Chain A
Amino acid sequence: MIESSTIQKGIDVYAIRQQFPVLNREVKDKPLVYFDNAATSQKPQPVIDALVNYYTRYNANIHRGIHTLAEEATAAFEATRDTVQQFIHAASREEIIFTRGTTEGINLVANTWGRQNIKAGDEIIISTMEHHSNIVPWQILCEEKAAILKVIPINDEGELLMDEYKKLLGPKTRLVAVAHASNALGTINPVNEIIEAAHQAGAVVLIDGAQSTVHLDIDVQQMDCDFFVFSAHKLYGPTGMGILYGKKSLLEAMPVFHGGGEMIKEVTFEKTTYNDLPYKYEAGTPNIADAIAFKTALDFINQTGKENIRKHEEELLRYATQQLEQLPGLRIIGTAKEKLSVVSFVIDKIHPQDIGILLDNQGIAVRTGHHCTQPLMDRFGIPGTTRASFAVYNTKEEIDQLVAGLKKVIKILT
C-alpha cells in the first residue's frame, strides 16, 4: 500500500465532510455541529457501504465454511487483522485479538492474565484520570484476590505526577494500567516513561488507547507495552468492535476467557484443547460485519494521513482554546502541555447539563457530565464538565458557532 500521508500535504476538510453523510443533517432546524467525537466519531460513507456490502453480497459464517461466501467473508475478516497489525505496528497478526471494544479488552485481561497472576497483597497501579472501564475491572479483581489498587495523582493542569508514580512502584507492583490519553481532559500521558519504569519494577503494563489511537501514531513495539486496547467506533469505524493487542508470550501463557466455538482445537467430554492465537480468545461467531468494515475505517485514516489529521485537529484545539478562554466565567479543565483535541470546561454558576441542552437546541452536540470519570471530577471538585472534542471533519466555523452558542447560553442563564 502506498503511504499517502507522506505524499498529501494538508487536508481539504470540506471534501472530507462530503464523505460523512450524517453531517448533512439538521438538528432542531439547525445544521448539525458534532463535537462529541471523544464519545464516538461519525462514519464515512465507505464504512457504511462496507457494512451494507457484506450483508448484501457475502454474509456467511467465517473460518469453517468451504463455500464461496464463507471464503470471501473469512478473507475480509482476516484482512482487518492485518491492517490493524500494521496500524499499531504489532510484531505479528496473532497478537491482534478482536473484542467488542476497549471495555471488553480490559475485562479480558483482568479475567485471564489478572486471575492467573494477581495474588493477595499484590499491587495494581492506575491513575486518577482513568475512565471507569479502566478502574472497575481492576477493583473487582483486587476484591477477589485481596490485592491493592493504587492511584497515580495528578496536578491542577491534569498531568500525572510522575515522581509520585515512581514512588508507587515497588516489588509488589504486578500491573500498571493507564490511559494513553484522558477522555475527560485530553491529557496525553508519557506512556514510554510509564512503561519503562514499570518494567524496571517487574510489572506488566496495559495501555488504554481508546482516546489516543485515532489521533496519535501507535507503535506498540516501540512503546513496549504488554497490552494495548482500543475501540473501532472512535476511529470512524463501527460500534461493537475493538482490539486487544497483547505480547505473544503473554497471550500464549494466559488462560482462556470465554469458552465455546472457534476457540477450540479439539473437544471431548473429558478434555478440550484450545485453538492457537488469536482464535483462543475469540469464542463464538464474532462481529463479522463490523470487523470487516473496520478495515475500511482504518483505510480512510491511512489515506487521509494521520499526520495531516493531527495537524488539523491541533489547529482546531488551539483555536477553540483561544476562543473559549475569552468567554466570561469559563474555565478550561485540563490544561496539560500535551493534549488531544479535547476541550473540557465549566462556566461559573451554570450547570453543565443546562449548557448541553441549550447547545443541542442550537444543533450543537457536546458531552456534559462526569464522562465516566467520577474520581477525576472529584479531584477537581466539580460535578462534571462540558466537553467539546474534535475530529478530522470539524471546522473553525463550527467552533465559532459553539462560541456564539455559549454566549447565548451565558446570556440566558446568568
Chain B
Amino acid sequence: MSDQETIHEIEQEIVEEFSLFDSWDDKYEYIIDLGKRLAPLEDQYKIDENKVRGCQSTVWLVADYQQGKIFYKAESDAVIVKGLISMLIRVLSGHSPDEIIETKLDFIKQIGMTTHLAQTRSNGLLAMVKQMKNFALAYKIKNAAKI
C-alpha cells in the first residue's frame, strides 16, 4: 500500500480490477481468494471487546494509530467476509482520521457489493465500516483533546 495514494484512488483501482470479471462467480472467487490470503489476526486480539456485532459471522477488528494515520487489522470466521475486510483494509488503512471519516466508500456500490451493506444483519459489513469510522472519529477527538 502506498501512502501517496488517496482513498479514492485505491477505490478506483479496485473498481477497475472488478471490471475484468464477467460473472458473479468470478467476483466472488476473487473475494474468496482475498479472504484466504488475509493475514491472520494474532490470537491476543481475538477477544470479545474487539468483536464487531454481526448476526452470523464473527469479526474481530483492531486499529492502531501511528504518525497521524490509522492502521487496521481484522479477521473473521467466514471467508467471504474476510475478503470484504481485506478490501476495506486496503482502502482505509494508512489514512488520516479525517480522510476515513469523510469517505463514502463508493467502490462497494460500483463493484456490485451493496447487498452486503443491506440491513439484513447477515454479515455485518455495515457494522464493520461503522466500526472503522468510529475508530477514526475516536482518534480525531483524542488528537483534538491533546491540542
A29 contact set on B, CB distance < 8 A: 24
Docked complex: A400-414 residues within 8 A CB-CB of B: 412-413
A248 interface residue (CB < 8 Å to B): no
B57 contact set on A, CB distance < 8 A: 351, 353
CB atoms of B122 and A353 under 8 A apart: yes
CB atoms of A354 and B24 under 8 A apart: no
CB atoms of A361 and B78 under 8 A apart: no
A28 CA / B56 CA spacing, docked (Å): 22
B34 interface residue (CB < 8 Å to A): no
B29 interface residue (CB < 8 Å to A): yes
Q: How many chain A residues touch B (Cβ–Cβ < 8 Å)? A: 17
A249 CA / B56 CA spacing, docked (Å): 43
CB nearest to B54 among chain A residues: A353
A368 interface residue (CB < 8 Å to B): yes
B24 touches which one: A28, A412, A413 (CB < 8 A)? A28
Per-residue interface assignment for chain B, residues 35 to 61, with 1 indicating a CB less than 8 Å from any chain A CB and 0 otherwise = 000000000000000000001111000
B81 contact set on A, CB distance < 8 A: 353
Min distance, Cβ B18 to any Cβ of chain A, angstroms: 15
Per-residue interface assignment for chain B, residues 1 to 40, with 1 indicating a CB less than 8 Å from any chain A CB and 0 otherwise = 0000000000000000000000011001100100000000
B28 contact set on A, CB distance < 8 A: 357-358, 361, 412
Min distance, Cβ B83 to any Cβ of chain A, angstroms: 10
CB atoms of A352 and B32 under 8 A apart: no
A368 touches which one: B24, B32, B56, B77 (CB < 8 A)? B56
Min distance, Cβ B130 to any Cβ of chain A, angstroms: 19
Q: Assuming the A-B contacts A351-B79, A353-B80, A413-B32, are A369 and B55 also in contact, with contact meaning beta carbons closer than 8 angstroms in the complex? A: yes
Number of A-B contacts (CB under 8 A): 42
CB atoms of B80 and A357 under 8 A apart: yes
A352 touches which one: B24, B25, B56, B58 (CB < 8 A)? B56
Per-residue interface assignment for chain B, residues 78 to 108, with 1 indicating a CB less than 8 Å from any chain A CB and 0 otherwise = 1111000000000000000000000000000
Docked complex: A79-104 residues within 8 A CB-CB of B: none
B56 contact set on A, CB distance < 8 A: 351-353, 356, 368-370, 383-384
A412 CA / B28 CA spacing, docked (Å): 10
Instruction: Name the residue in A353, A358, A361, A413 with the highest tally of chain B Cβ atoms < 10 Å from its Cβ.
Output: A353
Instruction: Name the residue in A354, A356, A361, A370 with the highest tally of chain B Cβ atoms < 10 Å from its Cβ.
Output: A354
A383 touches which one: B24, B32, B77 (CB < 8 A)? B77
CB atoms of B77 and A351 under 8 A apart: yes
CB nearest to A384 among chain B residues: B56
Min distance, Cβ B28 to any Cβ of chain A, angstroms: 6
Provide a sorted-by-A list of 20 A–B residue pairs whose CB atoms are within 8 angstroms: A351-B56, A351-B57, A351-B77, A353-B81, A354-B32, A356-B56, A357-B28, A357-B80, A357-B123, A361-B24, A361-B25, A369-B55, A370-B56, A383-B56, A383-B77, A384-B56, A412-B29, A412-B32, A413-B32, A413-B79
With A361-B24, A368-B56 given, name 14 new contacts (CB 8 A): A351-B57, A353-B57, A353-B78, A353-B122, A353-B123, A354-B32, A354-B78, A358-B28, A358-B80, A370-B56, A383-B58, A384-B56, A412-B29, A412-B32
Chain B interfacial positions (CB closer than 8 Å to A): 24-25, 28-29, 32, 55-58, 77-81, 122-123
Chain A interfacial positions (CB closer than 8 Å to B): 28-29, 351-354, 356-358, 361, 368-370, 383-384, 412-413
